[in-house]
Structure 1
Amino acid sequence: MNPKLWCSGFALVALLITGCNDQTIQENGQTDPVLVEYPVVYIERSLNRVGEEELTPVSFSARNPAEFNAGAALIIKNNAFADSPKTSLTANLFVVDSETDSEVLSEDIAQAIDIRDLSVSADGQSFLVSIRAPEIEDADDDEQPKWNIWRYQQSDKSFLPVISSEVIAEQGDDLMASFLPDGRIIFASTRQRLSRAILLDEGKPQYTATNESGEDSAFNIHVMQADGSDIQQVSFNMSNDIYPLVLQDGRILYSRWDTMGGINKINLYRMNPDGTDNQLIYGWHSQRITLDDEEYDIDYVKPQQMPNGDVLLLLTSEQSVGYQKRPVLINIDQFIDNQQTLASAANINESNAQSDLFSDDFYNFNFLDEINSAGRLSHLFPMPDNSNRFLLSWDLCRVTINTGTNEETIKSCGQLSPEEFSPEKLVEQGVELATPWYELWLYNGNTHTQQIVAKTTEDNMISEAIVMQATNNAPAFIADKTLGNGLIAELANEQAAAIHIRSVYDIDGSDSSISNSNPQGISALRDPSITRAEDLPARFLRIVRGVPLPPREVKRIPNTDFGRSRNQLMREIVGYTPIQPDGSVKVKIPANVPLAISVLDGNGQRIGGRHRQWISVKAGETLECNGCHTQQSELPHGRIEAQAASINSGAAIGGSTYPNASENIIPQLGQTMAQADEMVNGLAELSADITYKDKWTNPDISTPNPDLNYSYQELSTAAPEGSNCFTSWNAYCRLQVNYVDHIQPLWLLTRQVFDDESAELLADNTCTNCHGPVDIDNIAQVPAGQLDLTDSVSTDETDHLTSYRELLFNDAEQEVIEGIVINKLIDVVDSNGNIVYEVDLEGEFILDAEGNRIPVQTTITVPAILSTSGARQSERFFELFKTGRHENMLTVHELKLLSEWLDIGGQYYNTPFYSQD
């Protein structure tokens, strides 16, 4: 326990807290105007879900926003006086033939509805809230009521759903709504309006995709008109995009659950209201922080903005089991992580982005489930009038004391003497925290005083509150980008966008191409007279699409469909494009889908780690990137303004060729090679094949580089699904690689070598001839290299072929004994090299029929030759076909297919509807 938590602010506690949650304080004998003038709205709920047979505490998870905690009421009061009348707005919403009562009754709290996400308009005349109707008995999960957004208007006291059509309202869960400056409403929803439509265009069934955990429907940010019409999806994450906050500058700050590849972080992102300029803002390397000498794993959830513009978060810890939060201010203007400034803000005085909202010890709220004199804070609403006042959902410090006669008594911490409040005395008396009792308080940060605003009964809590008061800092209006005004019409009409990377060699502002052999970096790479194409480290860019997974009621996907590892789920390849010699690339990509990029070498194999974030670009938009970053790097990345200046300044002189380069492409000042190429040859389109044609060599100065083409057309086996689409590219072209259809046939393909003149069979290099359990005479054999590539059903996993398991899973070494292939056994030896023998329960040696001790035996592990981490991590396999004993037995086109399959995760299927389960 932290001793300072016991004594800090004790005198103030004793002064203000003289009983259990019962006080009213006026300041300087004057009535606070906020107490009289403005309605207060709050959510009161039971601490346990109502209607369930067993007591189940309510729980709130950012990873399951649609969770239903039955037992809530929405209360409005004309003012903030504790004893002013209060009215339940929800007492009769879902009750038939029930009398209306202006007072909140216990039955109201017990009503089996859920309420959350209060948000007030800038003029203070209306608010939004999300409500879920009661469960329907015996109905399936997909038939239960959805979360709906309701609006209250102060002018006529109306309280109605924003979407009036029940059919439309029930098409998705709608949560976390806020007003945009033009009256529209931005909210998080599982509707996936555009994503569902794109599924149809991709040739898939239309369904609401789950998040990457596969448990619940994914939330994305949507916008609708004030009357609930014209619903538009504006974000396109594979998992949850939640809690959109309209900032004072008009942009949208929101929380994104980043779960690609098995990571598990909730970070802050920002975009315009139309979804453009969407990028990471804060938190990627700040998920584990130290607070009060303790380490916590935290999520950056539900941002708010203070009247002075500061961003406020109520941090919650994954380790915390209660409802307490810690109010923290985060400087996102100058930091991208807690201890990492933007490149442009390197000389600021602050060393950390995060600071506690309340600096005095008395309000030292924390995550600990231990006794804290500050009590526990669950919710905080900053008053919008720059008065430094807050509505607090506050559980004052109360403890349960064992009297020694099997009886307990509850006291406020203010009733304890300093001696009783010491850590030693608390432990001696068996003092524990009392059951949470969160009531509503108005706290004045200037005078450090508070007063009760709304009370509740024990076992209930006030979970959220707002004041219907106009803000002095109404958000600015940002108009949606339109065709010709921020969006390129040609791209938008194709439902496409573009991405421009200034240089893939730019790793966090450093030139990664600099080495002992290339001290000049990209200046040498972009000079064709110095660097040949085959010597360029980065040759191609691969674009990968995350496959949306259907919910269980549409298709139950067994884990075996994902193959060796579930981390990458299912992936589609969207296509390839060459990287220019300076590392730049600009290419047309599909709009409004989650995409990732991979940089490839000349063999079509991924360089470095996988991309860790999904990116999406609005139709007609161009995403600008300086470069890349390493997986472990904590330098600014992912946020354009955070990054260091690009290493690629582009053409030094406009109207002249790049040094020693072709005269066919004349760049403008500052253009990258990709930009200059687009100016002459048009925006590059993605292809199914990896192709290269030299555009940059000046034949009068250097020898042109040979063409390169790894083509599906050169395969003798089936090409991946969708490859034909690329003959005339469109935004819905996808490549699907499934092991059964596209990889297994490589091992079965007949590979006979004949003499050119006599047609004599010289060799049969069919893979399964050697890599099978029997030879050509059907006699048992140990597969060559202990690798069985046949298409038999695996004895280890009946949902997989033998070859898949042999390639990607560790196996046991085999041998042939008496015509039977069996696992080879060896004696187990101890650390001294002595044979270990079998013993019985008493430790006596077990003897065989001849009275000899029986050695303990074990199998010999044969490591898997392929890795789902990628082709370069499977180098031992590929070297066999480059310079090893299998040299040239697989073509470069087949090796490219194997490389891309491994790079995207080595899945068994990349089509959700492939298997029949």
Structure 2
Amino acid sequence: MSVVALGVLVGCSGGSGETSSLGGGDQAEDPVVVDYPVVYVRRTLNRDDDGQLMGDSIFAPSAFNPGAELVLRDRATATAPERVLTEGLFVSDEDAGIVFEGGYDVKDLTVSADGKTLAFAMRAPDIEGRDDDEQPRWNIWLYDFDSAQLTRAISSDLIAEEGDDIAPAFLPDGRIAFSSTRQRRSRALLLDDNKPQFSALAEDLREPAFVLHVMEADGSDIRQISYNQSHDLSPTVLFNGRILFSRWDNMGRVDRLSLYTVKPDGTDLQFYYGYHSQATGSSANGEPSPGAFSKPQQMPDGRILVTLRAPEGITYGGDMVVIDGENFTEAYSEPEQQGQLQGQESLSVQRVITGGGLSPHGLFANAWAFHDGTSRLLVSWSECRVIDPQTELAQPCTEQWLATPDVVPADPLYGLWIYDYEEGTQRPIIQPAEGQMISEAVTADTRPVPQFIPQPIPGIDIDRDLYEEGMAILDIRSVYDFDGEQIADIAALADPLQTVADERPARFLRVVKAVGIPDEDTLDFDRAAFGRDRSQLMREIVGYTPIQPDGSVRVKVPADMPLAISVVDTNGRRIVGRHNNWLQFRAGEIRKCQGCHTRDSEVPHGRADKEPAPAWAGAPTSAAPFPNTEPALNADMGETMAQVMARVAGHPELEGDLSYSDLWTDPAQREKDPSSLLLMTELKTPLPTSLACQSSWSTDCRMVIHYPEHIQAIWDLPREITDDTGAVLDDRTCSRCHSARDAAGQAQVPPGQLDLRGEPSGVNNNFSTSYVELIFDNPTQELSEGALQDVLVQDTDDNGNLLFETDENGELILDTDGNPIPVMVTVNIPRIMNTAGARNSRFFEVFDEGGTHTGDLSPAELRLIAEWLDIGAQYYNNPFDAPVN
């Protein structure tokens, strides 16, 4: 519509229920969309006990907001009569002890491609007298337009209540993809770890993680297909048959909600769009604001329609935005959201402000694309309104009101409209009403059936042996490839005459598994178990594999669990930063990766059609070995060393030890590099794995490191030096030497200002003294009158001026002698160990060659400490081993 017409729209009365000046009941019916049934959710605005409007959060998908109803109109016009499909569905049965109280909730509408079936999520009302964990769950429901039958997809009450099910999407073979907390496969695998079955919490620890599942239309054969540690939301099926969804990457609290795709069987998970485009919303001052891609769906032209909105807020809406994911993976032309906006654009004819404050053109809560050859959308839209302080009534956002200081926004007022973004027209279907909103709507029109992607067949499409083992293959072309660029001369590293093993920085690949965290009803453990930094939660080490000279890896890894990888040196210390994304593998799958990337890199990584060309071409010819390598190891052109070795010797399995053998050097050219073996069993302290795994590492083995049990034991291990007669010449036990008490039990300043005793810390009783001393900054201490005291010095400002105590008016406070009182502060010692990893920790310097403690700890002990630091320096890495509250 024209700018003048839009001005009329935002100036209408707002919420009276009367037809706006743009038309309504008297408007000519649209001949194109008139015959399509429209289904929508009408709900009351959610308010707290004080009557204040409550917001919603994308990160809280299980939120229950009673007071919704599902409504059908046989025609998408303002004059068509409406029918509440869910009316009378929930009836109390006092004899059965089921007395409903309050309303129900409905959301996530979608329609099958043939336009015959509606699917949605609905939660029944609360049941009187039941605890929170006994209340109804979100379920998937189906409505057949021809028969007018409404049924729950999963008929069994027992199975339906196994988890919260939301966001259905129809697959081309009639199955339904959806997001759920039931975590069916993950729960089953917990039994292999001798843990009870539970749905693991998302990484913010607020509610169980929603991940993707598929099921038959009758609710049978439910299968989990995604294994994120936080939420996977809003699946929709693309024309090519892949499932597009919103993934919350929150490992290490990165807090990014971006778009991913996956095949319906869960294989070939790929990033799609927007990982580095988290601030593409707009604010009143023109600055970018946080914006989350909500409810994605594919438009007829192939672009992705989303509602771009603040992740949390009380406005419920944002802007209608289309993403050109076919050509772009990020919003802006340059990194760090600089340059031109090219990956996405708004469909609104006027600017929409999504970052708080007033949006003069209003806000869109939801949009649904027609597939009828037009540029029309069915939208839930609210005009901009403010409160007149004199009358306390809502008024449209005129320029005068927008210019008024401290103007108070009125409640949103979402009605249902047909919005044509090319013609610039906006026509009402349902006028808004005060205290209510149309939160989403769909039409029962037909649309193209997506391509069908068949299930892989073991032995034909995937490796049968791997499938039956529950294993997959990780294939990395070269860890020295960073975003298509070599960080080292890979050809030289691969040539034994140019590089010996000790000169190659990347020696092993470590595979780490996330540990599921139960809710308090399952296990109320002390959250101090996470240690100093909760961001890494808990981790288990699955094992190691050698990195081949060219940086390549090809190894078996367990399927159906969230995994992360790290490149480590010969001592088992991570040499690159942690990645903030979980990898997943399905049984029998072979996942290939070019190489590595830095955490902040915006070069497309993990999306096959957008990645740069690999930096390592592999073998230059066929039927010949790599230069100066074993003649028997003939390569095919383009193969990596790991691929050659797997073809010749079979796929290696992960190992518990850091074991290296020179398999490549041609002994006719030079002597092979010496083998090395850093054994876990060389530890004289409790081993962080089971007895069975100590003798033979298998696919079920894990390293689970607890600070009190495994790291403190290193400090407490007796290290007496004796002569031939057994007389003790020296006692180098770590916790005996590094103690606040000498051999006679008298107070002393611990050597190096480091106390390694395992007794509870007086500073933080959640942890031992040694943990606090190593992981936190600690004050320098001195001995005064037989007692340890913190060293205090007078504080200074940024210019080096001494500081004195002052009152609220800034006047000096004087002591009894009339002198100013100095501000005294402690002199802190920077922490010796860093939760960011071993290479970020000062601790290892004293054990290096020439250090003050060279040889005092064994290589196996230093390896264990490095592993513990690299995975996050947690106090415990199994919640079921931690103290309970």
TM-score by length of 2: 0.93
Give how far 1:462 is off: 0.6
Give how far 1:80 is off: 1.9
- 1:805 has 2:792 as partner: no
* One-letter identity of the residue aligned with 1:352: Q
Matched with 1:345 is none
- 1:512 has 2:487 as partner: yes
Matched with 1:908 is 875
Q: Separation in 1 of the partners of 2:224 and 2:217?
A: 15
Q: Separation in 1 of the partners of 2:147 and 2:603?
A: 53
- 1:234 has 2:209 as partner: no
- 1:577 has 2:571 as partner: no
Q: Describe the SS at the equivalent of 2:307.
A: strand
Matched with 1:891 is 858
* One-letter identity of the residue aligned with 1:892: P
Give how far 1:668 is off: 1.5
Of the three residues 372, 383, 391, the one matched with 1:407 is 391
Does the 8 Å CA contact 1:25/1:450 hold for their aligned counterparts? Answer: no
Q: Separation in 2 of the partners of 1:112 and 1:275?
A: 36
Residue 136 to residue 308, structure 1, CA distance change in 2 (3 Å): same
Does the 8 Å CA contact 1:774/1:780 hold for their aligned counterparts? Answer: yes
Does the 8 Å CA contact 1:334/1:341 hold for their aligned counterparts? Answer: no
Of the three residues 25, 45, 70, the one matched with 1:74 is 70
Q: Separation in 2 of the partners of 1:97 and 1:604?
A: 62
Residue 544 to residue 430, structure 1, CA distance change in 2 (3 Å): closer
Q: Separation in 2 of the partners of 1:39 and 1:852?
A: 84
1:246-325 superposed matches below 5 A? 246-289=237-280, 291=282, 293-318=286-311, 321-325=314-318
Deviations 1:169-204 (A, max 9, x none): 111000000111111010000000000001111222
Deviations 1:53-74 (A, max 9, x none): 4425353322110101110111
Of the three residues 115, 118, 121, the one matched with 1:130 is 121
Matched with 1:46 is 44
1:342-741 superposed matches below 5 A? 352-358=342-348, 360-361=349-350, 364-367=351-354, 372-401=359-388, 406-408=390-392, 410-412=394-396, 421-423=398-400, 426-427=402-403, 433-471=409-447, 473-513=448-488, 521-722=489-690, 724-725=692-693, 727-741=695-709
Does the 8 Å CA contact 1:236/1:592 hold for their aligned counterparts? Answer: yes
Does the 8 Å CA contact 2:281/2:355 hold for their aligned counterparts? Answer: no
Q: Describe the SS at the equivalent of 1:775.
A: coil
Of the three residues 145, 157, 163, the one matched with 1:154 is 145
Q: Separation in 1 of the partners of 2:580 and 2:12?
A: 53
Give how far 1:422 is off: 3.5
Q: Describe the SS at the equivalent of 1:335.
A: coil
- 1:790 has 2:766 as partner: no
Deviations 1:579-609 (A, max 9, x none): 0000001111110100111001122100121
Q: Separation in 1 of the partners of 2:358 and 2:103?
A: 32
Matched with 2:3 is 9
Q: Separation in 1 of the partners of 2:252 and 2:133?
A: 28
Q: Describe the SS at the equivalent of 2:541.
A: strand
Q: Separation in 1 of the partners of 2:333 and 2:804?
A: 58
* One-letter identity of the residue aligned with 1:689: D
Does the 8 Å CA contact 1:688/1:723 hold for their aligned counterparts? Answer: no
Deviates more, 1:797-806 or 1:898-907: 797-806
Give how far 1:832 is off: 8.3
Deviations 1:26-50 (A, max 9, x none): 999964335542211111000135x
Deviations 1:429-449 (A, max 9, x none): 987654322111123345433
- 1:205 has 2:172 as partner: no
Structure 2 portions without partners, runs of 5+: 95-100
Q: Separation in 2 of the partners of 1:429 and 1:301?
A: 32
* One-letter identity of the residue aligned with 1:156: S
Give how far 1:831 is off: 7.5
Give how far 1:338 is off: 1.2
Deviations 1:599-643 (A, max 9, x none): 011221001211210010101101100000012222221322221
Does the 8 Å CA contact 1:335/1:341 hold for their aligned counterparts? Answer: no
Matched with 1:63 is 59
Q: Describe the SS at the equivalent of 1:37.
A: coil
Does the 8 Å CA contact 2:38/2:72 hold for their aligned counterparts? Answer: yes
Q: Describe the SS at the equivalent of 1:303.
A: strand
Does the 8 Å CA contact 1:341/1:642 hold for their aligned counterparts? Answer: no
Does the 8 Å CA contact 1:340/1:636 hold for their aligned counterparts? Answer: no
Q: Separation in 1 of the partners of 2:803 and 2:172?
A: 77
Give how far 1:705 is off: 0.9
Q: Separation in 2 of the partners of 1:782 and 1:411?
A: 71
Deviations 1:662-703 (A, max 9, x none): 123221221100001111221111111111111011111112
Residue 29 to residue 888, structure 1, CA distance change in 2 (3 Å): closer
Matched with 2:97 is none
Give how far 1:81 is off: 2.5
Give how far 1:825 is off: 3.5
Residue 22 to residue 682, structure 1, CA distance change in 2 (3 Å): same
Does the 8 Å CA contact 1:586/1:674 hold for their aligned counterparts? Answer: yes
Q: Describe the SS at the equivalent of 1:42.
A: strand
1:769-788 superposed matches below 5 A? 769-788=736-755
Give how far 1:97 is off: 9.7
Q: Separation in 1 of the partners of 2:9 and 2:819?
A: 84
Residue 643 to residue 659, structure 1, CA distance change in 2 (3 Å): same
Deviates more, 1:761-770 or 1:277-286: 761-770
Q: Describe the SS at the equivalent of 2:609.
A: helix
Deviations 1:400-456 (A, max 9, x none): 445xxx32555556xxxxxxx445x75359876543221111233454333322234
Matched with 1:83 is 79
Residue 155 to residue 727, structure 1, CA distance change in 2 (3 Å): farther
Deviates more, 1:15-24 or 1:620-629: 15-24
- 1:764 has 2:731 as partner: yes
Q: Describe the SS at the equivalent of 2:715.
A: helix
Residue 823 to residue 14, structure 1, CA distance change in 2 (3 Å): closer
- 1:95 has 2:79 as partner: no
Matched with 2:814 is 845
Matched with 2:19 is 22
Q: Separation in 2 of the partners of 1:27 and 1:407?
A: 30
Q: Describe the SS at the equivalent of 1:524.
A: helix
Structure 1 portions without partners, runs of 5+: 1-6, 99-109, 343-348, 414-420, 514-520
Q: Separation in 1 of the partners of 2:602 and 2:301?
A: 29
* One-letter identity of the residue aligned with 2:412: P
Q: Describe the SS at the equivalent of 1:901.
A: helix
Residue 664 to residue 891, structure 1, CA distance change in 2 (3 Å): farther
Q: Separation in 2 of the partners of 1:589 and 1:494?
A: 10
Residue 668 to residue 529, structure 1, CA distance change in 2 (3 Å): same
Give how far 1:553 is off: 0.6
Deviates more, 1:428-437 or 1:729-738: 428-437
Give how far 1:798 is off: 1.9
* One-letter identity of the residue aligned with 2:487: S
* One-letter identity of the residue aligned with 1:453: I
